[in-house]
């Protein structure tokens, strides 16, 4: 019997196109090549707020920065 308290989070997919304000440290390395290279570490910040969250107070993340947010601007 499955315990509903212990649900495994399903894989989340990055929003495409990404927000132009989303940043990760890999964006500043020449070695970060490939499609996932820029977002490999899962450490993000918003260049608009200069924090790990956007101007709307929500997390800056490759999956959460979508066109559903007012601060989103497509790359």
Residue 70 lies in a domain: yes
Secondary structure of the chain as H, E, C letters:
CCCHHHCCCCCCCCCCCCECCEEEHHHHCCCCCCCCHHHCCCCEEECCCCECECCCCCECCCCCCCCCCCCCCEC
Report yes or no on 25 lying in a domain: yes
Q: Residue 23: give the domain boundaries.
A: 14-30+40-75
> Do residues 2 and 17 make contact, with C-beta atoms less than 8 angstroms apart?
no
pLDDT, tens digit, 9 for 90 and up, residues 4-63: 565 555 677 887 898 999 998 888 776 655 555 556 678 899 999 999 999 999 999 989
Q: Give me the number of domains the chain comprises.
A: 1
Q: How far apart are CA 27 and CA 14, in angstroms?
A: 16
More confident residue, 63 or 3: 63
């Amino acid at each position: 019997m499955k315990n509903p308290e212990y649900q495994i989070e399903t894989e989340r997919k990055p929003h495409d196109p990404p927000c132009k304000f989303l940043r990760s440290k890999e964006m500043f390395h020449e070695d970060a090549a490939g499609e996932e290279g820029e977002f490999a570490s899962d450490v993000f910040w918003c260049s608009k707020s200069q924090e790990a969250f956007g101007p709307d107070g929500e997390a800056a993340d490759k999956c959460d920065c979508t066109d559903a947010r007012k601060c989103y601007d497509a790359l």
